[in-house]
Amino acid sequence: MAAAPEERLDVLTAAGDKTGVSKPRSEVHRDGDYHRAVHVWIYSESTGELLLQRRADCKDSWPGQWDISSAGHISAGDSSLSSAQRELHEELGIKLPVDAFELIFVFLQECVINNGTYTNNEYNDVYLVTTLNPIPLEAFTLQESEVSAVRYMHHDEYKSCLAIESREFVPYDVNGQYGQLFSIIEERRRLKLKM
């Protein structure tokens, strides 16, 4: 049986504009091409918790570390929103309507890992899926090739783990662009308390 063709990604300029060229995912990361991805956070309003997934040990980037609820590349020609829906369904087994996804910010991650063999120059569209109560963990069907476990963690505790650069978590700079996630959540919690 032939292997599935490798996912192709649209190559972007450093400013984030499409170049009209697409390449296989492995070549994009080998060559350090700019490209797009989605991050989807599931957030429970009543508990203040974010859903985290533990990346499968076989992943070629940050294996075995705790990360975003769901994330993935935007395939060549696909839209950001349909990619967010697809990744959530593929990785966690849940289907949500488009209006459940709120685009809260875009951030650029530029890093080199795996002893210089994997360059990630990625524009990430960050979505928030807000639920009143946590979705029960047993409601998720995990894609074993991508996700080994899921858990809830209070947003303050998660932010603290990132701030001290705990090796258990995929690194994000909470003092940089990614800090917007926590600022947005904290502001909404303040507004809710005032109501």
The domains located in the chain, with CATH, are: 8-194 (3.90.79.10)
What is the structure's pLDDT at 2? 59
Q: Is 110 exposed, middle or buried (CB count within 10 Å of its CB: 0-12, 13-18, 19+)?
A: exposed
> What pLDDT, on a 0 to 100 scale, did the predictor assign at position 3?
62
The CA distances from residue 186 to 48, 76, 93, in Å, are 9, 35, 28
**Nearest-CA neighbor of 32 among 123, 115, 113, 118?**
118
Global pTM reads 0.92
Q: Consecutive 10-residue runs of the chain (195 residues): their mean pLDDT?
A: 79 95 93 96 97 94 95 95 97 96 95 83 97 96 96 98 96 93 95 80
Element (H, E) at 43: strand 34-44
Residue 111 is predicted with a pLDDT of: 78
